[in-house]
Amino acid sequence: MPPTLHILTTILLLFHHHISAITPPPEFQEAPAFLNGKECNKKANNIHIAMTLDLTYLRGSIAGVLSIVQHATCPENIIFHFITTQHMSSHLGRTMLSAFPYLKFHLHFFSTSLVKDKISTSVRRALDQPLNYARIYLSHLLPSDVNRVIYFDSDLIVVDDVVKLWEIDLNDHVVGAPEYCHANFTHYFTAKFWAKPYFSGVFKTRDRKPCYFNTGVMVIDLTKWRTYKTTQKLGKWMEIQKKHRIYELGSLPPFLLVFAGDVERIEDRWNQHGLGGDNVEGLCRNLHPGPVSLLHWSGKGKPWLRLNSKRPCPLDQLWAPYDLFKRAPLISDS
């Protein structure tokens, strides 16, 4: 390439990067105000909910928040903790405020340097993003007086009163989540993992058989999390993964390694997951049998992208009423 053309190309690329960096998020409609009902106890404890916030999943996050407050008996008792990176945080904060003027929320900055050297490539690019690992650091990011939190992914909607999930008794457990013991647990780790007792032997110490659980919906006792140094335990497995390649699915397997067989089981209705299909093709799926309190589009296919492409799955129409966007999103994770 001639020197002049090379310089021009470099300038154009830098200009494009600069424009991308200052491009505001998509615009959203303002949600109606949701106020506490008469039956709400003014002295009731606040409900703390943590979600990550970025441009790629912003449309999903806003739909999720709307679904939560719309179905809550006491929406004014809910405090949201949005975990984001410092880059774009001011834009994202203003967007949330314009969509939800009455919402109680805090922005917490997650430093990607905490995990960038620990992340291994997985089956889908979106699973490799540093912010996907922020849930590991909730005990550090949230104020020390927050003793319990519900963690929600940004590709779900809640169609029940979230206080029912909040009030679940975790007993002696650190984490509560729906478990799926019919899933083939061996598929979540490589053959090398199962061949080495040093790795696979971790599950022999559990009180019961380890089962798969989806980390997109978790009730977490942050006091116990801090006491048991859970963040360090999860980080240790990430370091082992970098050296030995013992799994393929992003931030999920470390949670299984630390908690599977030691989770407070929550009703399946609180995570009807997998609606985004598998991690490769994202094909349409149906609901699991049984009641539904939460629908979760885990997997590659996201409802906002399928609706944009005019090829929605039938269940995407259940997500659409919570969609507040005004114009098409700028970023796809496909």
The per-residue DSSP string of 218-265 comes to EEEEHHHHHHTTHHHHHHHHHHHHHHH----STTHHHHHHHHTTS-EE
d(CA 238, CA 232): 10
d(CA 263, CA 14): 48
Structure tokens that stand for 4 in this block: 């002049």
Sheet strand arrangement including 47-52: 104-109, 78-84, 47-52, 148-152, 217-221, 175-177, 264-265
What string of pLDDT tens digits covers the 334 residues of the chain? 444 433 443 333 333 344 444 556 679 999 999 999 888 976 678 999 999 999 999 999 999 999 999 999 999 999 999 999 988 888 999 999 999 999 999 999 999 999 988 888 876 777 788 999 999 999 999 999 999 999 999 999 999 999 999 999 999 999 999 999 999 999 999 999 999 999 999 999 888 899 999 999 999 999 999 999 999 999 999 999 999 999 988 899 999 999 999 999 999 999 999 999 998 888 999 998 999 999 999 999 999 999 999 999 999 999 999 999 986 544 555 4
Residue 285 and residue 313 in contact, taking contact as beta carbons nearer than 8 Å:
yes
pTM, whole model, 2 decimals?
0.89
Closest to 152 measured CA to CA, from 49, 53, 291: 49
Residue 308, judged by CB atoms within 10 A of its CB (0-12, 13-18, 19+), counts as: middle
Structure tokens that stand for 3 in this block: 């020197």
pLDDT, residue 267, reads 97
Locus of tokens 């390649």: 245
d(CA 249, CA 253): 7
Q: Buried b vs exposed e over 74-96: b needs ≥16 C-beta within 10 Å? A: bbbbbbbbbbbbeebbebbbebb
**Angle, in degrees to the nearest 10, between helices 252-259 and 230-244:** 120
pLDDT, residue 8, reads 40
